[in-house]
Structure 1
Amino acid sequence: MSRYSAKVLIGNWNEDKSLADIQKKLVQHNVNQGTRLVDQVDSATAAGREPAQLSWSEDGLLRYGFLIALKHGATGRRLASNVSNEVEARKFQASGVENQSLRTSFVIQRPRGVNLFAENTQDDFVRFGDEVILATAPSLRLSASSGLFQKQLYVFSSPSSLLGSTSQSGEQEVRIAKEPLVTKDEAYMRWRIEPMLSQPFPVGADTRVACDTPLQLVHCASGKALAMDAATLVYNDYGPELDVFCTLDQATRKVHVLKHEARGVRTADHRLPVLARNAWTFELADSPPSLSQDELGAPLSADAVLALVSEAVQAEAPSFADHMRSFDEAGDDMLDRVQFKYALLDAGLDLTADEIEVLTDSLCLDAVERDAISVSDFLARVLEGASVNSKK
């Protein structure tokens, strides 16, 4: 009987993977303890220390597509993403930091399905009451090896991810997540911009959002407001930072406030400290930024996509080769476009539809007559790239 498990296809890859998982857990333990190791600082970490990218507008009003920073009112910290610290599958850490950098730059986007012909959607202005999604800075999505854009990352929160014991008093986790795999997760990325005051706007009032205007971001799926507290710390590659979460403080304090009002204590004495945790302001650049095309990345090419595949399967090359050959049902070493596409997707590769199409067009032997891909030729190019990456 083989000493390897039934899942092992070739050699002792499973044992090597187990050792790699143990090393990853040790590194994560050091991160949680606040120890910053030199080998943990990868390209994403280095990019997070580059100067911030922010948009500039002469009137100070926010528009969709702008690069902004989100500053917390009570602590003065800024919402930041840590794309080098994957806390769970497809999700990364969100935190509060002091200094501006690429980590604190986000893009304001409209959610999918917004009626562009409805009232107040004829222009690009962001208004109070709008539902928006916050995407990370484009530069953080660039692959260090290929220069291609990876999948977009968004500020995300799930109503089931509670930090407390009950949904009424518990604080809700906030993460940086990749594009959703299922439709329902898209609702978890929507945030509604609301003013700090509870009074409605007068009829005909200008509801456009300006930078440095105090506001709150309410999670559309749970109704909890984005918050930050100076007493809650998280540890990552950058050291101790503040945790970001969603809270129901305004709702749970309502009875407490009414009781104190009956005793002659003003509502403001209790509401203002609570609202301070939910107060945010959008920041823009102080002057027109210098225009640069560096953040646009390299043009999409088959060689760049092959580099991505080689990098992804570097530690699992034998298993990946057997996986691709298993889709060759005819046994002639050929896959059609559909088979090749689903073979890549089934392997768990994080590729977009455009990247798969470019790679398929490049590998097809005859796009007019046969429209087929040689499995051996594809694996030879992929494994050659994986071998080069392992020697770096």
Structure 2
Amino acid sequence: MAAYRAGVLIGNWSEDESLEEERLKDFMSKRERGELLIQKINKLQDNIFKKIQLSICEDGFVHFGDTVMLLNPGNISSVENYPGTSSNLTLAITVDEIALYSTKSLPAPCGVSAVESVDPMGRNTFCILSVDGAAVGEPIRFGQKFGLGTTGGFPDQMLYVASEHKSFTRSAKKSYLQQVFLRDEPSYLTCWQATVLDPQLRLEYEGFPVPANSKIIITHCHTNRSLAVPRNFWTRSYFGQEYEVNCHTYLDSHKAEEDKNYWVIVTGNPSVEDGTIIDRPNPQSRQDQKK
């Protein structure tokens, strides 16, 4: 009778061997289709962290078809109320980590947040879209509807910045105010318009072109509430902790919007590749230094 050796197969070795072959075949098949988790994450990161060239506005106005960033400027009141939140923030795509396990593209709907990065990349750049038949290249005007479409994520996919009235089932996670999110189809929920900061000048500026790189109010057409970053609410995503974005009009004692509602549509710097206008030195500050 042969003695037992380490090479002798015992137990359900045939079944184990078959299972191992099936696992290998499944792995090879998923790898060929790009469905492995590491491939999904790498593809997502390659697209949303890809450097984007912003549109250059020679006439100083924002146009349909422009690729821009939406920046919530740092302000003094933020420092007073919430120390450490004085930096500029940009609107950006945010993705839950769980969604990466079940999809090869950006999930819809998905969230948005405000991030401290002001470098233009696929994640925080948006395309200005026409919703009323205006041609690409025409300037946007105060009071005119427009859409905001993502440029990052995946080349064959565009999501649209949207909002709708808050309800028991849909609201911002921390502030419980009106939620801002991304959806995969344009509709009345994805229509926005630009408004002048000074309430007393809004009727006079109605129909005038919207200047780029200047503070404005961005209002949701369907709910008449303004895009905002309150800066006192954090949200957690696959990218870490970021600021919550909501759709709520914050008014001061003079019935004017607070700086939580201020936005700058940032365009490209013509003198620096991949740069922005906000990176350019202020000529006035140079003159002050010389004095």
Distance in 2, matches of 1:235 and 1:103, equals 16
| C-alpha displacement of 1:205 | 8.4
The answer (yes or no) to whether the contact 1:56–1:289 under 8 Å persists in 2 is no
CA–CA distance in 2 between the matches of 1:202 and 1:222? 20
Deviation at 1:212, TM superposition (A): 1.6
Which residue does 1:171 correspond to in 2?
Answer: 177
Aligned partner of 2:171 among 139, 144, 162: 162
Report the residue type matching 1:81 in the other structure. I
Corresponding residue of 2:190: 189
Q: Which residue in 1 is equivalent to 2:60?
A: 60
Q: Does 1:236 align with 2:237?
A: yes
Instruction: Give the match for residue 248 of structure 2.
Output: 247
Q: What TM-score comes out, normalization by structure 1 length? A: 0.48
CA, structure 1 residues 122+229, in 2 after alignment: closer, same or farther (shift >3 Å)? closer
Identity of aligned residues (%): 21
Q: 2: CA distance between counterparts of 1:68 and 1:157? A: 20
| Pair 1:130-2:131 in alignment | no
Change in 2 beyond 3 A, CA 1:140/1:204: closer
Supply the AA of the counterpart residue of 1:102: G
Q: Structure 1 201/230 Cα, relative in aligned 2: closer, same or farther at 3 Å?
A: closer
Contact 1:52 1:104 in 2 (8 A): no
TM superposition shift of 1:202: 7.0
In structure 2, the CA distance between the partners of 1:231 and 1:109, relative to structure 1 (3 Å rule), is same
Quick one: structure 1 residues 239 and 201, their matched pair in 2 at CA, closer, same or farther if it must change by over 3 Å?
A: closer
Instruction: Using the TM superposition, give the Cα deviation of residue 226 of structure 1 relative to its aligned residue in structure 2, in angstroms.
Output: 0.3
Structure whose residues are more often helix by fraction: 1
Q: Distance in 2 between matches of 1:219 and 1:115?
A: 19
**Shift in CA distance, 206/127, structure 1 to aligned 2, threshold 3 Å:** closer
Contact 2:56 2:267 in 1 (8 A): yes
1:153 to 143, 159, 163: 159
Structure 1 segment 1-392 matched on structure 2, within 5 A: 41-74=41-74, 75-82=87-94, 86=99, 90-99=108-117, 100=119, 101-111=121-131, 114=132, 116=134, 124-137=138-151, 139-142=152-155, 149-150=156-157, 152-160=158-166, 161-163=170-172, 171-179=177-185, 186-201=187-202, 207-250=208-251, 257=253, 267=254, 275-287=258-270
5+ residue gaps, structure 1: 1-36, 143-148, 181-185, 258-266, 292-392
Paired amino acid for 2:259: A
CA deviation map 1:12-67 (0-9, x unaligned):
xxxxxxxxxxxxxxxxxxxxxxxxx9888341133222223311122221110000
Aligned-partner residue type, residue 65 of structure 1: G
Q: 1:93 to 1:76 in 2, by over 3 A?
A: same
Measured after TM superposition, the shift of residue 278 of structure 1 is: 0.2
Query: Cα distance, 1:163 vs. partner?
Result: 3.8
For 1:50 and 1:204, locate their aligned partners in 2 and report how far apart those are by CA, in whole Å. Answer: 37
Gaps of 5+ in 2: 1-36, 75-86, 101-105, 275-291
Q: Is the 8 A contact 1:44 1:83 kept in 2?
A: no
1:354-391 deviation line (CA, Å, top 9, x unaligned)? xxxxxxxxxxxxxxxxxxxxxxxxxxxxxxxxxxxxxx
Runs of 4+ off more than 6 Å:
37-40, 288-291
Question: Paired residue for 1:8?
Answer: none
Matched to 2:64, the amino acid is Y
Match of 1:339 in 2: none
For these two proteins, the number of residue pairs brought into alignment is: 215
CA positional deviation for 1:131: 0.9
CA distance in 2, matches of 1:227, 1:163: 12
> Would the aligned equivalents of 1:129 and 1:192 in 2 still touch at CA under 8 Å?
yes
Name the SS of the counterpart of 1:71 in structure 2.
Answer: strand
Structure of higher RCO (CA pairs closer than 8 Å, 6+ residues apart) = 2
Distance 1:211 1:92, change over 3 A: same
TM-score for the superposition, normalised by structure 2: 0.64
Q: Which SS does the other structure have where 2:141 is aligned?
A: coil
Q: How many Å separate the matches in 2 of 1:246 and 1:98? A: 19
Distance 1:240 1:38, change over 3 A: farther
Q: Mark the CA change 1:278 to 1:133 in structure 2 (over 3 Å): closer, same or farther.
A: same
Residue 140 of structure 1, CA deviation = 2.4
Residue 141 of structure 1, CA deviation: 2.5
